[in-house]
Amino acid sequence: MIEFDWDWAFAWEVLPLLLDACLITLQATLLGSMLAIVMGLLLALLRRSRWKTVSYSAYWWMEFVRSTPLLVQIYFLYYVAPEWGLNMSPMMTGVIALGMHYGAYLSEVFRSGIDGVGKGQWEASIALNLSPYRTYRDVILPQALRSMIPASGNYIIAMFKETPQLSAITLLEMLQLAKIMGSENFRYLEPFTLVGLIYLVLSLAASTGIRLAERRFPKEGFTLS
Amino acid sequence: MTDYAIEFDKVTKRFGDNLLFENFDLKIKQNEIVSIIGSSGSGKSTLLRILMTLETIDAGMVRVQGESLWHMQKNGAWQPANERHLHRMRGQLGMVFQHFNLFPHMTVLRNITEAPMHVLGQSKETARAQALELLRLVGLEDKADAFPSELSGGQKQRVGIARALAMKPSILLLDEITSALDPELVDEVLEVIRKLAAEDAFTMILVTHEMYFAREISDRVCFFDAGKVVEEGPPEQIFNQPEHERTRAFLSSFLSV
């Protein structure tokens, strides 16, 4: 029989430390998703450019980023980029890797959200002589946002769950800490179980939050100014 | 000011392999009200869309208030207009759409003030005062804070007209503005156009299926068929004594419906 002895004392000892490390995880997720949103929007807009070179470059960048593993990108930024003089801390590397990776996915979400806004809205904007900036900001994006919320939210939760990959470049996030605790005490059950539970609770809370945000998002009256 | 608000000079327009206009000519005088009638696919709406810069042309020249719309002169040579030129030219034009194309997430007031504030640089107060005045003109002063979804089709279209007028165009393009409306709502929209026509301050082109209205309001009626003006003239002539066989056929099909 497999022995399954849960040590409550040890669990209570590692939990506060894991929660501290969770802040690092959350920080990487938060900064990473901010960068991903900016990157995603930028890529989505570039792909709509009427200059073919620009739209194709954006398209191939997106394909390239989505077709290579996140872990390879993380290693590349951390171990190869310094050879070109680009030295970054593990946190900085992680934020940039997550932001770029998920920015490529988000660009597809943003693009289909923008495409979902009817042709008539663009035509009215031209007829009213609105600049492209005003058209996006005041007319298109506020209407596209509602349809972008669920998928973007899911990608950001996915990003959150990918943060353990940053342990590969020595970022002291939750999983990395659990590994250290485990090897120091020769007990892995409690730290790894707790890490899993913390991810579970936070992911469930976040997806509930997204559903609420989607439902509460006003059908009308939402403008960016 | 030039005699003609709009001139189409040997304009060619293709959609893929499909040739819609070939050497198309049309001149519209200042403050003239022209109705364009004809079956669907005859190029009526495309004419308006070319003027509103929603469709390009393949050859020829379009002039708006004497100035070339789709071309600009640089070092004496004509070249395709850039965005800046188009932006300037659009200032003369306003368009009302068949399907209204109101901004659904904005209040009626914001629909009307958006462009005056951000394109003409009007202050919020000026834009608001002007919008309320226009809403009074179209009989919707009590709907300033409503959203488009709370309005009937006729009300939406009246907002559409107010929104176009807020940009102070000299030329108003009305693209089948009553076609998407329930019959009982058509009149409230046409009433607004009647008022505008009486002001005699705009050049108006109406693409319409409202034959009685076209007859009542127009200085001139053009019958379009397959990208050509088959017949044109004062409304009495077109509706009472159409000369062309196809005009007669079109009008009789309309009156029998």
Span A37-85, pLDDT tens digits: 999 999 999 999 989 999 999 999 999 999 999 999 999 999 999 999 9
Asked if A222's CB is within 8 angstroms of B101's CB, the reply is: no
Of A129, A134, A221, the CB nearest to B105: A221
Specify the CATH number of the domain A19-216: 1.10.3720.10
Name every residue whose Cβ is closer than 8 Å to that of residue A143 and which is 6 or more positions away in sequence.
A117, A121, B103, B104, B105
> Over chain A, what is the mean pLDDT?
93
SS3 state at B30: coil
Instruction: Identify the band that residue A2 occupies on the pLDDT scale cut at 50, 70 and 90.
Output: low
B110 — contact with chain A (CB < 8 Å)? yes
Taking the domains of chain A in order of start, what are their residue ranges? 19-216
- Tell me how many residue pairs between chain A and chain B have CB atoms under 8 A apart: 72
Query: Residues 39..78 of B with a Cβ closer than 8 Å to A: which?
Result: 52-54
pLDDT of residue A218: 79
Angle at the Cα of A97 (from A92 to A98), degrees rounded to 5?
100
pLDDT of residue A220: 76
pLDDT of residue A146: 86
**Mean pLDDT (whole number) for B44-55:** 96
Span A118-146, pLDDT tens digits: 999 999 999 999 999 999 999 999 999 98
B94 — contact with chain A (CB < 8 Å)? yes
Q: Which residues of B touch A121 (CB under 8 A)?
A: 101, 103
Query: Residues 137..166 of B with a Cβ closer than 8 Å to A: which?
Result: 147-149, 163-164
B103 — contact with chain A (CB < 8 Å)? yes
**Mean pLDDT (whole number) for B198-206:** 93
Out of A91-100, A101-110, B71-80, B115-124, pick the least confident.
Answer: B71-80
Taking 80 as the threshold, does the pLDDT of residue A1 lie above it?
Answer: no
> Residues of chain B with pLDDT > 70: what percent?
99
Taking 80 as the threshold, does the pLDDT of residue A225 lie above it?
Answer: no
Taking 70 as the threshold, does the pLDDT of residue B257 lie above it?
Answer: no
Span B129-178, pLDDT tens digits: 999 999 999 999 999 999 999 999 999 999 999 999 999 999 999 999 99
**Mean pLDDT (whole number) for B45-56:** 96
Interface with chain B: mutation pick from A49, A122, A125, A128, highest number of B CBs within 10 Å: A128
Taking 60 as the threshold, does the pLDDT of residue B121 lie above it?
Answer: yes
Taking 70 as the threshold, does the pLDDT of residue B43 lie above it?
Answer: yes
pLDDT of residue B236: 93
Span B208-222, pLDDT tens digits: 999 999 999 999 999
Specify the CATH number of the domain B103-168: 1.20.1580.10
Asked if A223's CB is within 8 angstroms of B101's CB, the reply is: no
**Mean pLDDT (whole number) for A18-23:** 95
Of A124, A131, A143, the CB nearest to B105: A143
Better pLDDT: A220 or A175: A175
Instruction: Identify the band that residue B255 occupies on the pLDDT scale cut at 50, 70 and 90.
Output: low
Instruction: Identify the band that residue A217 occupies on the pLDDT scale cut at 50, 70 and 90.
Output: confident
> Residues of chain A with pLDDT > 90: what percent?
88
pLDDT of residue A4: 74
Which of B148, B50, B136 lies closest to B99, judged by CA?
B148
Span B11-26, pLDDT tens digits: 999 999 899 999 999 9
Of A127, A134, A219, the CB nearest to B52: A127
Asked if B149's CB is within 8 angstroms of A220's CB, the reply is: yes
Asked if A138's CB is within 8 angstroms of B90's CB, the reply is: no
Distance from CA of B158 to the nearest CA of A (A): 15
A221 — contact with chain B (CB < 8 Å)? yes
Q: Token digits for A47? A: 């792909």
Of B100, B118, B147, the CB nearest to A221: B147
pLDDT of residue A223: 78
Q: Which residues of A touch B54 (CB under 8 A)?
A: 123, 126-127
> Residues of chain A with pLDDT > 70: what percent?
98
Q: Which residues of A touch B164 (CB under 8 A)?
A: 127-128
Which of B183, B239, B175, B185 lies closest to B206, judged by CA?
B175
Distance from CA of B63 to the nearest CA of A (A): 17
Asked if A127's CB is within 8 angstroms of B90's CB, the reply is: yes
